[in-house]
Amino acid sequence: MGRRALPDSVHKPLLATLRGERQDRPPVWLMRQAGRYLPEYRALRAEKGGFLALATDPEAAAEVTLQPIRRFGFDGAILFSDILMVPWAMGQELSFGAGEGPRLSPTLLTRKLAELSPDVARLAPIYATVRRAAASLPAATTLLGFAGSPWTVATYMVAGQGSKDQAETRAFAYADPVAFAAIVDAIADLTVEYLAGQIASGAEAAQLFDSWAGSLSPEQFERWVIEPNARIVAALRARCPGVPIIGFPKGAGDKLRAYAEGTGVDALGLDETLDPVLADAMLPPGLPVQGNLDPLALLTGGEALTRGIARVLAAFPERPHIFNLGHGIGQHTPIAHVEALLRQVRG
d(C-alpha 92, C-alpha 106), whole Å:
6
Residue 313 in contact with ligand 1CP, rule: CB under 6 A: no
Residue 168 CB-half CA count within 13 A: 16
E-strand spans in 195-288?
A: 205-210, 245-249, 267-269
In the bound complex, which residue of the shown chain has the CB atom lying closest to ligand 1CP?
A: 162
Residue closer to ligand 1CP (CB basis): 39 or 286: 39
Distances (CA, A) of 260 to 128, 135, 340: 32, 33, 32
CA angle 164, 165, 166 (to 5 degrees): 105
Considering only the stretches 27-35, 131-139, 296-304, 314-322, report the one whose residues sit in contact with ligand 1CP under the rule CB under 6 A: 27-35
Which residues, numbered 274-303, are part of the site for ligand 1CP (CB under 6 A)?
none
254 Cβ contact partners less than 8 Å away, ≥ 6 residues apart: none
* Residue 324 to residue 336: CA distance in whole angstroms: 17
Coil, helix or strand at residue 223: helix
- Specify the 3-state DSSP secondary structure of 292: strand
Single-letter amino acid, residue 183? I
Cβ distance to ligand 1CP smaller for residue 32 or 122 = 32
Q: How far is the CB of 35 from ligand 1CP (least distance, A)?
A: 3
Q: Find the shortest distance in angstroms from Cβ 73 to ligand 1CP.
A: 15
Please report, for residues 6, 73, 138, 159, the alpha-carbon distance to residue 70 in angstroms, rounded to integers and kept in the order given.
19, 6, 9, 37
Contact by Cβ (8 Å): 292, 272: yes
Kindly state the smallest distance separating residue 213's Cβ from ligand 1CP, in Å: 10
Scan residues 127-166 and list those touching ligand 1CP (CB under 6 A).
146, 148, 162
Task: Please answer whether residues 51 and 96 qualify as being in contact, where contact means their C-beta atoms are separated by less than 8 angstroms.
Answer: yes
Which of 13, 15, 45, 320 binds ligand 1CP (CB under 6 A)? It is 45
Residue 269 and residue 247 in contact, taking contact as beta carbons nearer than 8 Å: yes
Which listed residue (18, 27, 28, 33) binds ligand 1CP by CB under 6 A? 33
Active-site residues: which are they?
Answer: 32, 36, 45, 82, 156
Stretch that binds ligand 1CP, among 29-37, 127-135, 292-300, 301-309 (CB under 6 A): 29-37
Among 206, 60, 199, 191, residue whose Cα is nearest residue 127 = 199
Number of residues located near ligand 1CP, criterion CB under 6 A: 22
The reply on whether position 22 binds ligand 1CP by CB under 6 A is no
State which of residues 14, 18, 34, 173 lies at the interface with ligand 1CP (CB under 6 A): 34
Q: In angstroms, what is the minimal distance from the CB of 5 to ligand 1CP? A: 26
Among 17, 191, 211, 290, binds ligand 1CP (CB under 6 A): 211
Of 146 and 194, nearer to ligand 1CP (C-beta) is 146
One of 3, 19, 22, 32 touching ligand 1CP (CB under 6 A): 32
Other C-beta atoms closer than 10 Å to the C-beta of 39 total: 11
Binding to ligand 1CP in span 71-110, by CB under 6 A: 78, 80, 82-84, 96, 101-102
- Please provide residue 28's backbone torsions phi and psi, each rounded to the nearest 5 degrees: -140, 135
The site for ligand 1CP (CB under 6 A) is made up of 31-36, 45, 51, 78, 80, 82-84, 96, 101-102, 146, 148, 162, 209, 211, 328
